[in-house]
């Protein structure tokens, strides 16, 4: 149980940090411009940011659960597809996805997911599924 909590905690902290760095520090202006061009206000209140932290820890929990059953590659690919690709589809459908960010967001999010999976597997130890299968 302790290992599972540590896996979710460390992965969640990493995901939150990575998302904050990308969206609030490096590319906030890009998001603000995209929303302004649509006549919208970019949601960056504390309650909105808190929900992204919740999202990060839900993803970390899913990563930890998947890592117990799937290989490193399978866990990474599944988590990335379900978390990021589906989010981009929704945001694109809402017409707020800044397509110019995708060349940066795709590799960044894949790297973010790989690190989260490696952190989870590190704390899960022998209870993680082995290999790359």
CB atoms near residue 100 (< 10 Å): 12
pLDDT tens readout for residues 24-65: 999 999 999 999 999 999 988 899 999 999 999 999 999 999
The confidence score (pLDDT) of residue 125 equals 86
Q: How far is CA 50 from CA 20, 31, 33, 44, in A?
A: 11, 18, 22, 10
pLDDT at 130 over 70: no
The confidence score (pLDDT) of residue 132 equals 45
pLDDT tens readout for residues 59-116: 999 999 999 999 999 999 999 999 999 999 999 999 998 888 999 999 999 999 999 9
Q: Are 16 and 56 spatial neighbours (Cβ–Cβ below 8 Å)? A: yes
Query: Higher-confidence residue: 1 or 60?
Result: 60
Q: How far is CA 99 from CA 11, 30, 66, 122, in A?
A: 27, 11, 29, 34
């Amino acid at each position: 149980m302790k290992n599972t909590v540590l896996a979710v905690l460390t992965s969640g902290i990493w995901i939150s940090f990575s998302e904050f760095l990308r969206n609030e520090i490096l590319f906030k202006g890009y998001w603000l411009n995209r929303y302004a061009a649509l006549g919208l206000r970019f949601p960056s209140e504390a309650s909105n940011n808190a929900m992204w932290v919740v999202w990060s820890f839900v993803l970390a929990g899913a990563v930890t659960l998947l890592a117990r059953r799937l290989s490193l590659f399978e866990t990474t690919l599944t988590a990335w597809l379900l978390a990021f690709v589906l989010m981009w589809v929704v945001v694109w459908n809402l017409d707020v996805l800044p397509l110019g960010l995708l060349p940066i967001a795709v590799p960044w999010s894949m790297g973010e997911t790989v690190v989260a999976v490696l952190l989870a597997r590190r704390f899960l130890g022998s209870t993680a599924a082995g290999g790359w299968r």
